[in-house]
Amino acid sequence: MQEGKELLRMVDVEFSYPGSKTKILSDINLHVDYAEFVGIVGPSGTGKSTLLRLMCGLLKPTKGKVYFRGEELRGPNQKISMMFQLPNLLPWLTILENVKLPLISRKDMSEEEKEELAMRFLDLVGLSGYASAYPRELSGGMQQRVALARALVVLPDLLLLDEPMSNLDPLTALALMRELEEMWFDSSLPPASVVMVSHSIDEVIQLSDRVLVLKGRPATIVAELKVELERPRNRKDEAFLRLVDEVMMLLS
């Protein structure tokens, strides 16, 4: 891992959806370093998901540029994975087949290697016992963990998380967050860096090294905060609560 080096950069990015005159994002300048966990907060409908889709090449900026590992990003890249609010598993495939899916076109790997890798990540999210089950047999929280395994199976350098806990009940959300935190502590695991969008300020401060505050119409980054609290973080700590207040003030 090339710690300290830059993984992704957005330069003067502006975005409107094709066919629409409404500018969603403007003047977006940001970077994500290797080994960094960046959180993005902002009110609902500001453009956080849009920003993540620009970071993974699913959308193209109307103006400006996105660079990934120093090269302009011109479309989806195998080394960038995204996890959405909903697991989006294919109901007719088993859990193992769902996790293996992103590897389907890889010619440099044998079927056994693909299966081994998929099993490794299913095991990591505690679901290796469900490899031959179908999505309908799993709870929402378990399906979201399968989606995490599927996002990791390509060994991404950058993992983009779009409110991954927002559709889960609070206890399941907390369990998934702990899993993400543990994964983050284990440097032998991918990804190198994570960008997580959330409307939960607590979640973002719990996990991030740096928090970007997105606000306005069109939206832009109005503030950037470093979170220098020791990990694992305690949500009841005074310093933690102070940071939550600070972000709330910036958003209000």
Contact string 46-85 vs ligand ADP (x = CB under 6 A):
xxxxx-----------------------------------
Q: Which residue among 20, 187, 188, 252 contacts ligand ADP (CB under 6 A)?
A: 20
Q: Which residue among 45, 70, 140, 232 contacts ligand ADP (CB under 6 A)?
A: 45
Asked if 185 interacts with ligand ADP (CB under 6 A), we say no
Q: Which range of residues in 37-45, 62-70, 77-85, 236-244 is near ligand ADP by CB under 6 A?
A: 37-45
| Residue given tokens 């993974």 in the structure block | 56
- CB 210, min distance to ligand ADP, A: 18
By beta-carbon proximity to ligand ADP, the closer residue of 84 and 130 is: 84
By beta-carbon proximity to ligand ADP, the closer residue of 19 and 91 is: 19
- CB 24, min distance to ligand ADP, A: 5
DSSP letters, 241-252, are: HHHHHHHHHHH-
Kind of pairing between the strands at 63-68 and 158-162: unpaired
- Dihedral over Cα of 9, 11, 14, 17: its sign: negative
**What is the per-residue burial (b if ≥16 Cβ within 10 Å, else e) of 109-141?**
eeeeebbebbbebbebbebbebbeebbeebeeb
| Residue given tokens 């989606």 in the structure block | 147
List 28's β-bridge partners, or say none: 13
Size of the site for ligand ADP (CB under 6 A): 11
By beta-carbon proximity to ligand ADP, the closer residue of 142 and 151 is: 151
Asked if 42 interacts with ligand ADP (CB under 6 A), we say yes
Contact 15, 59 (CB under 8 A): yes
Q: Which residue among 4, 21, 44, 111 contacts ligand ADP (CB under 6 A)?
A: 44
Sheet with 6-16, strands from edge to edge, namely 23-33, 6-16, 63-68, 71-72
Say which residues have a Cβ less than 8 Å from residue 196's Cβ, sequence separation at least 6.
37, 38, 39, 40, 160, 161, 164, 203, 204, 207, 208
Asked if 24 interacts with ligand ADP (CB under 6 A), we say yes
**What gap in Å lies between CA 235 and CA 233, rounded to an integer?**
6
- CB 56, min distance to ligand ADP, A: 13
- CB 217, min distance to ligand ADP, A: 8
Asked if 21 interacts with ligand ADP (CB under 6 A), we say no
Contacts with ligand ADP, residue ranges (CB under 6 A): 17, 20, 24, 42, 44-50
